[in-house]
Amino acid sequence: MKTILLLRHGKSSWDYQVSDRDRPLLERGIRDAARVGKEFLKDRIIIDAAFSSPANRAMHTAIIFLRTISYPLDKFKLSPSLYDFSGDDVYSFIRSLDNTKNTVMLFGHNEAFTHIANSLGDVYISNVPTSGFVELKFDTNDWGAVIKGVTGRTIFPKHIRE
């Protein structure tokens, strides 16, 4: 069994004259990433590997989330393939994962994550929101064979706000 855990980056700011890759998170994005992390802990899922887009907002979301769940940051890596908005590069990345890893967490962007959630899952999601989490499970032991799976838990910040 293989499992992909998708987490879209937190709410980011458009208030700065910086490149898209350098846009920072808003305070809300920081809070939501931590809240989703706390909610995620309830399922006691063991993550074998974690990868993020190199964009600032995705990396920052990843670090907040991973610290919240006490995931060792030395096992966390960046991948340029996850700085993708169509989903094509993300899908190729998933299919090329190391088969010794069974549960892999990805931090990235829309429209890619909504596309992946709908293409590979069995539940339609109109939009994965910022800091939105989607679990996808596949009945295979080979990442290269991932085609269609089952949508597991979703965690969207608006459902867990305090």
Burial class (CB in 10 A: 0-12, 13-18, 19+), 70: exposed
Predicted confidence (pLDDT) at residue 159 exceeds the cutoff of 90:
no
Span 107-113, average pLDDT:
97
Q: What is the pLDDT of residue 20?
A: 83
Higher-confidence position of 147 and 162: 147
Predicted confidence (pLDDT) at residue 10 exceeds the cutoff of 80:
yes
User: Which residues, other chains included, contact 121 with Cβ-Cβ below 8 Å and sequence gap of 6+?
Assistant: 134, 136, 149, 150, 151
The residues spanned by each domain of the chain are 2-159
Q: What is the pLDDT of residue 161?
A: 63
Q: What is the pLDDT of residue 78?
A: 98
Predicted confidence (pLDDT) at residue 51 exceeds the cutoff of 90:
yes
Which tokens is 21 given? 């890759």
Looking at this protein, which amino acid is placed at residue 87? Answer: G
Looking at domain 2-159, its CATH superfamily turns out to be Phosphoglycerate mutase-like (3.40.50.1240)
Predicted confidence (pLDDT) at residue 12 exceeds the cutoff of 70:
yes
Q: pLDDT confidence of 22, banded at 50, 70, 90?
A: confident
Span 116-145, average pLDDT:
97
Residue 149: what are its φ and ψ, rounded to 5°?
A: -130, -155
Predicted confidence (pLDDT) at residue 162 exceeds the cutoff of 80:
no
pLDDT digits 0-9 by tens, 72-90: 999 999 999 999 999 999 9
